[in-house]
Amino acid sequence: MAGLLVLGANQVALGDMLFILISFIVLALLVKHFAWGPVTKMMDARSEKITGDLDYADQERSRAEKLAKEREDALKNSRAEAVEIVNKAKESGETQEKSIVSAAHSEAEELRQRAKSDAAKAREDAMAGAQNDIANLSLEIASKVISKELNADDQKSLIDSYIKELTVNETK
């Protein structure tokens, strides 16, 4: 062993240095190809994936928050809308009710008026008919009683005046 430390030209196994140089380089290449490459690649991929996943989670959370807010707003809106619809329905019901009632009122009024006017007319007609009949009847009676042909017109006016007096008395 001591001989190896003496840097005598023939005794030193300088080939060993060459040997370790070559074997170390070959070992490094083999390790790189079979283990280092795939594993570091996977480690990089994993760190990339973790960063990506974190970013994605952040994105998703903000999106979910936005969605929840939107839904809440929509819910609030729909509640207001529902109240409005109910109010509108109530209003329209009220106006309809009013219009129906007023229409019924006016119709009833019309009916009443018509009935009133009909009754008045019938009474007038009856009165006129009765007047004529009474006039003719009394004229016939008179003519028969007096047996004298009286002037029908004079007679008639006479009777009319009578009757007028009669009706005036009657209404009194």
Partner 1 sequence: MDDKYKFVEFLGLRFNVANDLSVLVSAVLVFILVFALSRKVTMRPGKAQNVLEWMIDFTNGIVKSAIPDGSGKQFNLYAFVLFLFIFVSNQLGLFFQLKVGGFTYVKSPTSNPLITMGLATVSLLISHYYAVKKFGFGGYLANYARPVKFLLPINLLEEFTNFLTLSLRLYGNIFAGEVLLALIGTVAKSLGAVTFVAAMPLAMVWQGFSVFIGAIQAYVFTTLSMVYISRKMEQE
Tell me which residues touch partner 1 (CB under 8 A): 1, 4-5, 10-21, 23-24, 26-28, 30-32, 34-36, 38-40, 42-43, 45-46, 49
Residue with tokens 């009683």: 145
Query: Is 36 or 162 the residue whose CB approaches partner 1 more closely?
Result: 36
Q: Would you tell me the crossing angle of helices 152-171 and 37-146 to the nearest 10 degrees? A: 120
Instruction: Give the residue with the Cβ less far from partner 1, 26 or 89.
Output: 26
Residues 156, 139 contacting (CB under 8 angstroms): yes
Q: How far is the CB of 22 from partner 1 (least distance, A)?
A: 10
Cα–Cα–Cα angle for 27, 30, 31, rounded to 5 degrees: 85
Nearer of residues 34 and 162 to partner 1, judged by Cβ = 34
Which of residues 50 and 108 has its CB atom nearest to partner 1 in the complex? 50
Least Å distance, CB 8 to partner 1, is 11
Task: Answer yes or no: are the C-beta atoms of 104 and 117 closer than 8 Å.
Answer: no
- State the minimum distance, in angstroms, from the CB of residue 5 to partner 1: 7
Angstrom distance (rounded) from CA 46 to CA 156? 133
